[in-house]
Amino acid sequence: MPKAYWIAHVTVTDPEPYAKYAEKASKAFEKYNAKVLARGGNFKQVEGKGHARNVVIEFEDMATALNCYNSDEYDAAKKHRKDAGIADIVMVEGVE
């Protein structure tokens, strides 16, 4: 079964609540054994519209990624992100 990845492109508009989101989201990621591969590092936007923050998180499989996203733990985190930034998030299945 292939791994799955969350790819998030984010512009933070209010850092204080976004920091609370990040703290709570990390707990959800830990519960679902996620591995953060990239989080807000240096980047070069070579095509299309970009965001200031880019995140890639690896999960065991798509079911686990979706379970994490739909979990009570992540739901509690999302409440802090709602008015703290603009996010485009996609989940993509990797290749075997």
* Ordered mean pLDDT values, 10 residues apiece, the chain (96 residues): 96 96 96 96 93 96 98 96 94 96
> What confidence score (pLDDT) does residue 96 get?
87
Q: In this structure, is the dihedral angle defined by the CA atoms of residues 6, 42, 81 and 30, taken in order, positive or negative?
A: positive
Tokens of 1: 């079964």
The 10 Å Cβ neighbour count of residue 55 is: 20
- Give CA–CA dist 84/23, Å, rounded: 14
Q: How many residues does the chain have?
A: 96
What is this structure's pTM? 0.91
Give me the amino acid identity at 24. K
Tokens of 17: 């609540």
Query: What is the architecture of the domain spanning 4-93?
Result: 2-Layer Sandwich (3.30)
